[in-house]
Amino acid sequence: MSEIPVAQTVFPDLANFGYDAWWLMLLKSVGIFAFLVLTVLVAILAERKIMARMQYRIGPNRVGWHGALQSLADGVKLALKEGLTPFGVDKALYLLAPVISVVPAFMAFAVIPMGPEVSIFGHRTPLQLTDLPIGVLYVLAMASIGVYGIVLAGWSSGSTYPLLGALRSTAQVISYEIAMGLTFAAVFILSTTMSTSEIVSSQVHHWYILLLLPSFVIYAISMVGETNRAPFDLPEAEGELVGGFHTEYSSLKFAMFMLAEYVNMATVSALATTLFLGGWQAPWPISIWDGANSGWWPMLWFVIKMWIFMFVFFWLRTTLPRLRYDQFMAFGWKVLIPFALGWVMVVAVIHQATSGASEWTSSLIVAAAGIVVTAALLYAIRREIVGGPASVKPELPPPGSPFDPMAGGFPVPPLPGQVLPTPQLAGPQLSGARNPTGTTSAPEAPNV
């Protein structure tokens, strides 16, 4: 095998794509599909195990070794269950909605770089299906198309609660995709490209999580809302909407919605790895080893970074309660979007002002500004979620104040400090009641 330049081997660019044979493209596509399906099976099992561990439970432990085949058994069970189609649904859209959700979820992974150039059956090819000059925007577009599946599922079900879940999803995507897109803009300014492979190569000296910390924090929050995961799972809030947009779905169609959710989790985690954690590049001190960023080893670093984000998804679901809808929308529009927009302007001004300075000088200034903006962002998040007007405790009434439980037309319990009125007996004392002298007297006969 002939040697090729190290820079080309380690960091592919747009010139390395578009020359693979058809069978190699097909092999890559099947490999990505298998990788994502296996990731979903492992993620479902890992989520149940991690949640059980955090809640002092055992979790799945019956099917396979320590429950290792539980996810596969659940998938087979869903596939073999009878599929029920409720009466009155828009059948075409009802059947199409799960497909619209799951197909873009797989397509978005096509531009995710998972490693450098490797040799596959004697052919040199990057560990990435393809790349585009606007690769990051392609991922965002696929995520937006997937939301149409949720909206159409709620609309076509012909039921109130699925429709409410679909409407919530529409508002959620509009709110949080704006903030997510603005975090991309800061990365584009520093890397001067929208190609995913070239963004990875631009982080050879320093990862963007060190320079663009506010963008990373905003993206990490937005990707949880984008994937409808707790505490932002308002489109499928079980306590309010029965099951949300997929209430009327069963069997394989329901499984497709769950598959799309977990594949989207893997996609946004992989995109966060690509944009902020150096992609497939080895972390320090492993990067000191000469072979850390060559061959098939980078794929291992990529998977480890991606699974760190996946673990955070499970951790959040286990520990945080669901937000109220007003908190959720106010948080997106009043905190994330203004800070994301302001941070993009700060990065653009610093990048232009330090255009003649050295790379390290410009990086230090951006990193220092990022720390200040991140501190302000965390303070705004705490004030909005923890200490906002919605969480202020109402003033309690003075002790001993009268209280009418039927004032609103239906009985309500008293607040602390309020006293229920003393019940007045409408008739004579019951039989066997004691009089003030301590003797028991029979009830008086009624007047005729």
According to the model, what pLDDT value does residue 7 have? 39
Per-residue pLDDT tens over the stretch 10-32: 578 788 888 889 999 999 999 99
Domain membership flag for residue 444: no
User: For 251-259, what is the mean pLDDT?
Assistant: 91
Q: Which domain holds residue 336?
A: 6-282+291-388
SS3 134: coil
User: For 244-273, what is the mean pLDDT?
Assistant: 92
Q: How confident is the model at residue 393 (pLDDT cuts 50, 70, 90)?
A: low
Give which of 231, 240, 175, 179 is closest to 385, Cα–Cα.
231
According to the model, what pLDDT value does residue 400 have? 65
The answer to whether residue 354 scores a pLDDT higher than 70 is yes
Global confidence as pTM: 0.82
Give which of 220, 229, 230, 382 is closest to 321, Cα–Cα.
230
Domain membership flag for residue 16: yes
Domain membership flag for residue 404: no
Domain membership flag for residue 431: no
CB 293 within 8 A of CB 116: yes
The answer to whether residue 189 scores a pLDDT higher than 70 is yes
Higher pLDDT residue, 83 or 335? 335
Domain membership flag for residue 393: no
Domain membership flag for residue 422: no
Per-residue pLDDT tens over the stretch 278-322: 999 999 888 888 888 888 999 999 999 999 999 999 999 999 888
Domain membership flag for residue 407: no
CB 236 within 8 A of CB 246: yes
Considering the chain, what is the average pLDDT of its residues? 85
Q: Angle 220-221-224 (CA atoms, 0-180°, nearest 5)?
A: 90
Q: How many domains does the chain have?
A: 1
Domain membership flag for residue 152: yes
Q: Rounded to whole angstroms, how far apart are CA atoms 184 and 346?
A: 14
